[in-house]
Amino acid sequence: MSNLFTAVSVENQEIVSGGVEIASFNTRFRGRQTSQAGRAASGFDGSVAEGKQDNLNVITAARTRLVANAFPGLRG
C-alpha cells in the first residue's frame, strides 16, 4: 500500500486519501444616493418655489463557495 502513495503525485494523494479543498468568497455593499432638484421664481404675479428629493438605497451581498474533492453531502 505504501508503494501506491509513492507512485502518485501529492495532488493525487489528496484525492485518493480524501483531501478536501474549500474556498469561500464574500462581498457586501451598502450605499445611498440622494438627488435634489428645485426651482424658485418671482414676478409680478407672486413667487413660486418647488423642490423634490429622491433617495436610492442599495443593500446587496453575494457569496461564492467552491468545494473540490468533497463527498456529496458537503457540496453546495
> Do the Cβ atoms of 67 and 25 come closer than 8 Å?
no
Grid cell, residue 3, equals 508503494
Euclidean distance between CA atoms 21 and 10, whole angstroms? 14
Check: pTM over 0.85? Answer yes or no. Answer: no
Full pLDDT tens readout for the chain, 76 residues: 455 555 656 666 555 555 677 888 999 999 999 999 999 999 999 999 999 999 999 999 999 988 776 666 655 5
19 Cβ contact list (under 8 Å, min separation 6): 13, 69
